[in-house]
Amino acid sequence: MTAVDTLFAVEPVGSELAAQVDEHGHALTHRILDPAACREIAALYDRPELFRATIDMARHRFGAGQYRYFADPVPEPIAALRASCYPHLLPVARAWAERLGRPAPWPDTLAEWLTMCHAAGQRRPTPILLRYGPGDWNALHRDLYGDLVFPLQVVIGLDEPGVDYTGGEFLMAEQRFRAQSRGTAIALPQGHGLVFTTRDRPIRSARGWSAAPMRHGVSTVRSGLRRTLGLVFHDAA
């Protein structure tokens, strides 16, 4: 079902994709899930027993639409995707921490890292299914959830833009040091992942490296149904 191991190299600049993440703070992967797997994962949304929470975005003024957080234990296909992505993102995370002079507390495996999160009181799973219909959108935000944060996350498209829905571009806004913010809009192909910055990332400045805060969201869906799987690599308090 997945081809995660073909997408990344172990070294942070050892592949084009990892280099793009390092350079831009985001990168679109090759196909991770085939169409059948996308449909299988999207169908999990209609099994409420699998989830710990359902969020109405309009009620909380997050936008419009709905998303659900998986409960523990996270279904095996989702847990496997999350665990297999983590070690490939780890070199970039550690390199960024070094540039910014920050601690790099992340161990070699996701299981070890989640144990650290749980010990710190962040025990609630954060893998998420999102569903948007016509008129739905998601405000620019950051998925932090507690003091322990992994600096990269992944969103995977489960429907095909231009076929299953229109609009609904993935949005990112990066705050540049002493400059206007830079915006990016990406149509997320079905089965492909987008690796992107969780909180901030290092950018070169006249004094060395500085942290550029980044937020993400979704533009208004004009028609159809847009569903995505979100993989955050730290759990929530």
Q: What is the pLDDT of residues 48-67, one digit of tens each?
A: 999 999 999 999 999 999 99
**C-alpha torsion sign, points 4, 8, 12, 17:** negative
pLDDT number for residue 8: 43
Low-confidence ranges of the chain (pLDDT < 70): 1-14
Q: H/E/C letters for each residue in 164-189?
A: CEEECCEEEEECCCCCCCEEEEECCC
* Residue type at position 7: L
CB 63 within 8 A of CB 167: no
pLDDT at residue number 176 = 77
Report helix, strand or coil for 111: helix
pLDDT digits (tens, 9 = 90+) for 174-196: 987 777 888 999 999 999 999 99
Residue 187 sits at φ, ψ, to 5 deg, of -80, 125
So what's the pLDDT on residue 11?
35
Q: What is the pLDDT of residue 91?
A: 92
What value does the CA radius of gyration of the chain take, rounded to a whole number of Å?
Answer: 17
> Which pLDDT does position 211 carry in this prediction?
93
> Which two three-digit tokens encode residue 30?
């090759």
Q: What is the pLDDT of residue 78?
A: 96
Per 3-state DSSP, the chain is made up of helix, strand and coil in percentages (nearest 5) of 25, 35, 35
